[in-house]
A and B are shown apart, each in its own frame.
Chain A
Amino acid sequence: MSDEYEHKLEAKSDYATDASSVSSPDLDAVPEAELPDQELYHSHSWWTTYVFSQDAKYIGIQYALTAVGTGLLGLVLSWLMRIQLAFPGLGWLDPAAYYQFVTMHGMIMVVYLLTALFLGGFGNLLIPLMCGARDMAFPYVNMLSYWAFVVAVVVLLASFFVPGGPTGAGWTLYPPQAITAGTPGSDMGIILMLVSLILFVAGFTMGGLNYIITVLQLRARGMTLMRLPLTIWGIFTATVLAMFAFPALLVGCLMMTLDSLLGTSFFMPAMVSLGETLTHEGGSPILFQHLFWFFGHPEVYIVALPAFGIVSDLLSVHSRKTIFGYRMMVWAIVGIGALSFFVWAHHMYVSGMNPWFGFFFATTTLIIAVPTAIKVYNWILTLWRGNIQLSLPMLFSLGFIVTFLNGGLTGLFLGNVTVDVPLSDTYFVVAHFHMVMGIAPILVIFGAIYHWYPLITGRMMNETLGKIHFWFTFIGSYAIYFPMHYQGFVGVPRRYFEIYDSPYIDTSTLLLNKFITIAVLIVGAAQLLFLYNLITSARLGKKSEKNPWKACSLEWQTPQMPPEHGNWGKELPKVYRWPYDFSVPGAKEDYIPQNQPPSEIIGAKVEKT
């Protein structure tokens, strides 16, 4: 033990540029390249450049634009739902449409927006650049992945135009009601939803294999895993989760498709529907819930882990300070990822299960709070005495910490069986998951877009518009979701088409519904402002200098900005340190890029990484 301790001390004091090594000729030595330079696909036509592109950066942008486009539909659906809830007298929606919009809003936001944007969008854009690779390992498969996603989206949207409309089963698609007459879209809509999900999983698998192999096998010389930016750790771990969680969704979807099309009874018990006994018999609806949540819970972290990673980088860059506890952050990401496979049944406390199971899943759920809390503390300690720049990415990151903390604390309520039972199926749950996996990751996405926009377009986004966008979004989302916690406590049930004056529902919640809806519309308008900023800045934005945020990570160190095809020009970068060397004592600048050779920064007290 004492040996180890001394070893540690030695390592700590082992600065990369101590006096003795200055004269050493191999000061800038990095290990030899293990692999020959990657052979790239070069496009020759407009189609292969812009449509069926095999360049990860393009694919990332394609993914992001498709995801945002689909997400906008989800946003509009949420406005319509809120207007219905606040002003049922308007009669804009009938009950069927309301349920259909709830379902489509949920599925679009979770899968087709957040998952696709974080992994497909940011993953494709950042993984090769941050690892110091020229492209993904399998560019052709990567292109197929994107187009499978497009087909999945088209199939999903097609369900709006089939007889009966899209499914209204709720985003969890629980059988038997999802495929039983009486639920909107129970014949065509649900089939298209299931097929779309199957396509999405197939497409994502192709992309995910690329992300994993690129991170594991295509790093630049000198880039160890422990020198990777936390963004990559987050995206990588989320991809691994997705590779192991999506199979359960795939199997569940396939089985329900057969139940619906062939009349099998995987999930269908014997039932009487509309006065007639159905032919189904002996299936297990709870089996679907297990399959769904074995996917569904890791899915939460598929969305959250990339957000954790990205926000760590944003906080570090914009407070000009080393990330606090890098190794702990990595282990926390990996630990949360692993634990997320053992908590799924906490979504099923009221489905009926052995109390011991409830006890087990409550325990594992609460254990997840430990690594998560480590992360929150580390973010705050990263800010502690940092040179905090209140730039747009920083504002959104700060917003994320508060929002995530808020959503995480309500998670503790819902993770405990006894507290969950009265709260389940109330607006408290809606408020919880929107805070923790809706608003919090979305704030990170905004911060990330403001941060990496210059890398994509070479121009900055408008700061004033961005600040207006931030304050409206941040305060607005609290105006939306804080009242929902209260509504949940007084027992307003979720998924109700019309909340009217009744002895069972507090009158105060009716007024709150109107308040929430007005906040929703204002926040929604602020998003349009963001879109305006996003589009116009590409042409009119202030030209960005190279590395505008003075970040250390590799994506800003390309010879050209925005990076060209192949990212790195003739020679791949060599990496000497981690990406968090900010404000190093003795260094000329307040940041030392990962690929700056040690011989150029002699005298800087860089810790060995």
Chain B
Amino acid sequence: MSDSSFQNLPKGWKSVPSDLGSDQTAFKGVQWGKAMMWIFLLSDTFIFSCFLISYMKGRASTVVDWPNTSEVFSLDFMGVPVPLLLIAIMTFVLITSSGTMALAVKYGYEKNKKMCGWFIFATAIGGLTFVGMQAYEWSKLIHEGVRPWSNPFGAGQFGSYFFMITGFHGTHVSIGVIFLFIFARKVFRGDFDTGRRGFFTTMKSDYVSIEILGLYWHFVDLVWVFIFAFFYLW
């Protein structure tokens, strides 16, 4: 581009639409899959927002008192009920797995197959641990008589929202774990180095897909922070 054409570019606020609407691509140098994942996550954000806002509305308008969450969610440790113990461990594990995912992305771009693969594997194990502990928490609550339609501690909506929202989030985590295992295998097999073609899509593999998976994983963790705050701290 010549100098004169730079001078003709719009300035100030007008430069925003003109940059965004510039030739060929709106997001320069951003791989399609990555842009797609961002937009999907935005849409998913709306889903979780709808869930959490519904939960707030539902909790605000029940006719029976909401259960005391610090009692319901406490875990017996050496005979003493400790509130938030299990959930603190779960949250710690999930957030840690975000860290290992970030390292996997870094090693992926360095084309360090071995480290990348192991860190993805570690992330998958972290996710699996989280899902496992969630299953434990669910079974504990179910043993105590909490059901989606009623519970012995207070408003029936507690169980409804709890199982629905953590279940929906848990499904996200589980899908992520499945993909993490698949990707760990793909990395170890060298798919991303050789550009092996995808079984379904027939498109060439690229290390950028690890970052895309990472975006999803970080999002799932971020959502958990909100669910944690709204369910366990409120």
Contact = CB atoms under 8 A, between A and B. Distances in A.
Interface of A: 11, 30-31, 33-35, 39, 41, 137-138, 140, 205, 208-210, 212-213, 216-226, 243-244, 246-248, 250-252, 254-255, 258, 262-266, 270, 279, 281-284, 287, 290-291, 294
Contact of A265 (B29, B57, B160): B160
B54 A255 contact: yes
A209 B40 CA distance: 7
Given A224-B21, A255-B164, A258-B148, A282 B46 contact: no
A266 B36 contact: no
A34 B24 contact: yes
Interface in B44-85: 44, 46-47, 49-51, 54, 57-58, 61-64
A251 B42 contact: no
A35 B24 contact: yes
A309 B23 CA distance: 21
Contacts of A255: 54, 164
Interface of B: 1, 8, 17-18, 20-30, 32-33, 35-36, 39-40, 42-44, 46-47, 49-51, 54, 57-58, 61-64, 148-149, 155-157, 159-161, 164, 168, 200-204
Given A243-B42, A247-B43, A248-B46, A225 B26 contact: yes
Closest 6 CB pairs of A and B: A225-B21, A247-B46, A264-B160, A251-B50, A247-B47, A216-B26
A218 to B, nearest CB: 8
A224 B25 CA distance: 8
B25 A244 contact: no
A220 B25 CA distance: 9
A575 B167 CA distance: 49
Contacts of A246: 43
B21 A282 contact: no
A34 B35 contact: no
Given A213-B35, A281-B156, 10 more contacts: A31-B23, A213-B32, A223-B23, A225-B22, A251-B50, A265-B149, A266-B54, A266-B58, A287-B57, A290-B57
Contacts of A263: 148-149
Contacts of A205: 40, 43
Nearest to B57: A287
Given A209-B39, A221-B23, A258-B148, A34 B57 contact: no
A443 B18 CA distance: 34
Nearest to B1: A31
Contacts of B47: 247, 250-251
Contacts of B35: 213, 216-217
Of the listed residues A11, A34, A266, the one surrounded by the most CB atoms of chain B closer than 10 A to its CB is A266
A251 B46 CA distance: 10
B24 A31 contact: yes
A181 to B, nearest CB: 17
A216 B29 CA distance: 12
Contact of A291 (B32, B50, B157): B50
Contacts of B46: 243-244, 247-248
Contacts of A250: 47, 50
Contacts of A224: 21-23
A293 B46 CA distance: 14
A251 B164 CA distance: 10
Nearest to A245: B46
A262 B148 contact: yes
A217 B160 CA distance: 42
A244 B43 contact: yes
A41 B204 CA distance: 11
Nearest to A263: B149
Contact of A34 (B21, B28, B36, B62): B28
Contact of B202 (A41, A210, A266): A41
B37 to A, nearest CB: 9
29 contacts: A11-B8, A34-B25, A34-B28, A35-B25, A140-B201, A212-B39, A217-B24, A217-B32, A218-B25, A220-B24, A221-B24, A223-B23, A226-B17, A243-B46, A247-B44, A251-B50, A251-B54, A254-B168, A258-B160, A263-B148, A264-B156, A264-B157, A270-B63, A281-B156, A282-B64, A282-B155, A283-B157, A284-B61, A294-B50
A59 to B, nearest CB: 15
Given A243-B39, A284-B61, A279 B149 contact: yes
A217 B157 contact: no
Contacts of B63: 270, 281-282
Contacts of A223: 23-24
Contact of A282 (B39, B51, B62, B164): B62
- Which of A35, A212, A265, A287 has most chain B Cβ within 10 Å? A265
A254 B161 CA distance: 12
A33 B24 CA distance: 8
A216 B27 contact: yes
A287 B83 CA distance: 31
Nearest to A251: B50
Contact of B149 (A30, A212, A221, A264): A264
A244 B48 CA distance: 11
B28 A283 contact: no
B30 A217 contact: yes
Contacts of A218: 25, 32
Contacts of B201: 41, 138, 140
Contact of B204 (A31, A39, A210): A39
A44 to B, nearest CB: 11
A225 B24 contact: no
Contacts of B43: 205, 208, 243-244, 246-247
A251 B49 CA distance: 10
Given A209-B40, A279-B149, A282-B155, A287 B58 contact: yes
Among A34, A137, A264, max chain B CB count under 10 A is at A264
Contact of B57 (A138, A252, A281, A284): A284
A518 B148 CA distance: 51
A346 to B, nearest CB: 19
Contacts of A212: 36, 39
B148 A217 contact: no
Candidate in A31, A224, A270, A279 with the most chain B CB atoms within 10 angstroms:
A224
Among B42, B46, B57, the most chain A Cβ lie within 10 Å of the Cβ of B46
A137 B36 contact: yes
A11 to B, nearest CB: 8
A34 B27 CA distance: 11
Nearest to A137: B32
A287 B164 contact: no
